[in-house]
Structure 1
Amino acid sequence: MKALRIVLIVLIAVVATVGWRWFQYVSNTSSPYDEVGIELNSRMPGPINKWGCDKLHASFGNVLPPYGCQAGDGRQWR
C-alpha cells in the first residue's frame, strides 16, 4: 500500500511538472521555437495540441509555425 502511494505521488508530480512546462511554453511571448516546448506540444493529444497551437498563433502569427503546429507546406499554421 505504501509503495502504491509513493508511485502515485511521483506520477502526479511528473504530470504536474510536464503540464506546467507545456503551459509555460504555449503562453510565452518571447519565442515559439523553444525545443522542449515544441516537443511537449507536438506530443500532446489532438485537442490539447490544437489549443496550444492556437495560443502560439495568437502570439506569433507572423512567423513560421513550430513543429506540431504546421499545416500544408509547413509555412502555414493549422
Structure 2
Amino acid sequence: MQKLLQVVCVVLVAAVVMFGGRWYMYVARGESPYDEVGIALNGYAPAPMRAWGCHTMQARFPGQLPPYGCSGADGRRWI
C-alpha cells in the first residue's frame, strides 16, 4: 500500500511539473499568445494564476487581441 501511494505521489508531482512548466513557457516565453495548448492550460489554471498569466502576456504582446480566456466581455480587451 505504501509503494502504491509513493507511485501515485510521484505521478502527481510529475504531472504538475510537466503541465505547470508548459503553462509557464507559454505565458513567459511563448512566441504567440494564440498557442492552442497554452490557451487550454491557461483556461484550467486557478484564477490568480490565470490573471497573472494574462497580465504577463498583455505586457509581452501589446496591441494584440487577447487569446481566449484572457479577454473581457467584448473579446477585444484584456482582463
Which TM-score band applies after superposition, normalised by the shorter structure?
Answer: over 0.9
Q: Which residue of 1 aligns with 2:51?
A: 50
Deviation by residue 1:25-70 (Cα, 9 ceiling, x = unmatched): 0012521010000000111111110000001000112111001100
Aligned AA for 1:41? N
Which amino acid is 1:21 matched to?
R
Unaligned 5+ segments in structure 1 are none
Secondary structure at the counterpart of residue 21 of structure 2: helix
- Structure 2 unmatched runs, 5+: none
Larger strand fraction of residues: 1
TM-score (norm 1): 0.95
- Other-structure match for 1:2: 3
1-side partners of 2:60 and 2:39: how far apart?
15
- Kindly report which structure 2 residues correspond to 1:1-78, keeping only aligned pairs within 5 A, or say none: 1-78=2-79
Identity within the alignment, %: 50
Q: CA RMSD in A?
A: 0.9
Instruction: Please give the TM-score of this superposition, normalised by the length of structure 2.
Output: 0.94
One-letter code aligned to 1:56: M
